[in-house]
């Protein structure tokens, strides 16, 4: 798994879904994050797209 390899190098990881294929892989990554003291996050990159970010900034500015 690329995510595990990055953690072993001490890298913090933002992973696109699906994070794993099964619960066994998820548990391995959880233990690796603790062992290598890294922060991990799984998300949907689409939500970081400009089309979603700009309205959020506008809403904050207006409110």
Structure confidence by residue, pLDDT tens digits, 2-60: 999 999 999 999 988 888 899 999 999 999 999 999 999 888 766 666 666 666 555 66
Q: What are the beta bridge partners of residue 42? A: 15
DSSP string, the chain: -HHHHHHHTT--EEEESP--SSHHHHHHHHHHHHHHT--EEEE-GGGGSHHHHHHHHHHHHH-
Domain 2-62 CATH class label: alpha beta
pTM over 0.95: no
């Amino acid at each position: 798994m690329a995510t595990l390899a990055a953690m072993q190098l001490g890298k913090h990881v933002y992973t696109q879904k699906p994070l794993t294929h099964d619960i066994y892989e998820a548990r391995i990554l959880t233990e690796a994050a603790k062992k290598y003291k890294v922060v991990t996050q799984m998300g949907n990159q689409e939500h970081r797209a400009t089309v979603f970010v700009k309205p959020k900034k506008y809403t904050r500015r207006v409110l």
